[in-house]
Structure formats: structure tokens, C-alpha cells
Structure 1
């Protein structure tokens, strides 16, 4: 029996992929947030150890540096999904809906290509690090492969988010606003301080 790819099946597939990418981007954001807290606690512990006991914790600088790279890459997809990147809309503010759509499609295509290139190169770095068992230089020689692999995963996730948004913009009419919305509450208009 042959399976026919109908419009309904395609829409179900696209909806599930969209849901999965949004959840993965959010999970990457949560993981980045937790890792940021871990880095802050590690830094605080190192400062306390250095100032109270005159002995820094070995490997903290190298470990926190490796974690910071992972934090940045894991947070990129959610930042793109929420539209939290810096936007300079001087040129697009005067454009009509059709021209805005063309400009957005162009920027998303460039962003997807750039992030896919970054993801590809980061994946190669992770594979090479695994191949020769790359370790951090310093007092604590921990393996770097897991950090590079997580950074590559975050870069691929970001590339997928750019591609997801690109597909949405390609199939949506120009008059429909498809810009991502942030979940932050608006400032109160009555001027009262919270």
C-alpha cells in the first residue's frame, strides 16, 4: 500500500515539527539559564575560596569559560523564536507589507545560512575534539568534547529556528503579521511604580 502525502498529512507533520522545535528551543533556554546559575555559583565559590582560604578552586576559570560558550549557543534559538535579538527598523519602518515580507525573508535566509555554517563548523570541532580526546589546559584537564557537542546542538537548533521562521514567512500572505511576540508584560500606563 502506498502512502500518499496529502495536504492534511503534510500540515500535521509541519505542525508537529513546529511544536518540537519550539519546545527544544525553550528547553535550550532553560538549560542555558540553569548553566548560567551554575557558572555564577562556581564564580562565587572560587572568590570565597580565594579570599578566605587563599586557595582558588582549580579549573574554575577554564570550566566557566567552556560553560559560557554552551550558554550562548543554547540560548540563541529561543532568542530568535521570541524576537529578542536587536532590531534596527529605520529602513523597514517605511516599507509596505510586501517589501517588509521580502526583507524579512532575506534576513531569515541569511540568518539560517549563517547559523547552519556555524553549526556545521562547530560540529566538526566537536568531532575533532572527540577524535583526539581534547582536554582543557589548566589545573583541571577536563574533556572539551561535551561542551563543544552542546554548543553544536545549540547552533543547529538556532539554524532550525531560522528555517522554521523562514518557512512560516514564505507561506503566509504579506498582510498577515507573523512577527514573534515576547511574553513580557507591558509597562503600566498610569505612571505608577510597581
Structure 2
């Protein structure tokens, strides 16, 4: 089961990185097209007028994908912003209790957001909602990616909660300790 979960988190991380690469490639294509048009103008030829239609919209949707698909991985690698001032100075027993409560609360909130993000994507699918750009993109696609990323994040929080309740060390605490961060056992 551990191998399956780790692979799921890695796939989500790869999808997040792929979204960022896609943004970079689309922007590069747009920039190169504008440069080519500029050179054609300088040479006295008619510019082609190359553009990536709905670039801003597509880049925004890809950024949503990158952000939400990376949530589980950033938690597991301890690169989320955590304010651990109170936890760092608490006795070990209180620290475990605080970590458990925060994981439980975090899981509950993220599971709630996952449910409603999935419902939003489903409604957008039912009503055929599309974006307003040059290319009408079905809104259920980026919304479903958002729901999927939240679902993987919720699973990651539940994973760490189960590890915490069984007496183990959550992934983010182990990652912080491995990096030698302050205030970590």
C-alpha cells in the first residue's frame, strides 16, 4: 500500500511539473511568434500575426493544475509553509496531540473542499459551461483537475494522520528532521 500511495503522490507531482512546462512552452511559442512577426516587419514583409489563442486563460488553467496537483507532494516533502512556533516549544506528548488535531482538522477541511470542487466540476459538466476566451474550454476540465489535486492532498493528509495515530512519524516531520530544520525532533 505504501508503494502505491508513494507512486500516486509522485504521479501528481509529475503532472504538476508538466503543467508548468506546458505554460513555459506556450509562452515561448507566443514570444517566438511575436519575434518572427517583428523580424518580418523589419524585412518589409507582412507579419503572419502568430498568436496562441486564449494563452492567458490556458496558462491560468494550467497554473491551477500545477498548484493543486503539487499540494500532496509539497506536504510530504515539508515545503508547505508551517508555523511551528507553538509546536516546537511544546512537550513531546502535547506536540503529538497538536499534530494529530491539526492533521484531523486539515483532512476534514480538504475533504470538504474536495467534495465541493468535484460537485462544481460535475455541475459545469452538466450545464456545458465553457470559458469566455477565443477557445471555449469546458470549465469542468480545470475544475476536475482541481478536485483531483485536492483529493490526492486529502489522501496524503489521511495517510499522515493514520501514521501519526499508529505511533509513527508523519512524512513532513520526517522530511523536516532529515533536512535538519529547527524545532523538529
Which TM-score band applies after superposition, normalised by the shorter structure?
0.7 to 0.9
Match of 1:125 in 2: 120
The CA RMSD measured in Å over matched residues stands at 2.1
Q: TM-score, normalised by structure 2?
A: 0.82
Unaligned 5+ runs, structure 2: 38-48, 181-185
Residue 44, structure 1, aligned to residue 38, structure 2: no
Q: Which residue of 2 aligns with 1:110?
A: 105
1:35 aligned to 2:35?
no
SS at match of 1:134: coil
How do 1:1-194 residues align onto structure 2 when only pairs under 5 Å count? 16=1, 18-53=2-37, 55-172=50-167, 177-178=169-170, 179-181=173-175
Query: Kindly tell me: are residues 56 and 106 of structure 1, through their superposed partners in 2, closer, same or farther at Cα, counting changes over 3 Å?
Result: same
**In structure 2, the residue corresponding to 1:91 is in which secondary structure?**
helix
**Residues in 1 aligned to 2:10 and 2:3: alpha-carbon distance in whole angstroms:** 11
Contact 2:22 2:62 in 1 (8 A): no
1:73-129 deviations in whole A, cap 9, x for unaligned? Answer: 110011112222112222112111111101101111111111111111110111011
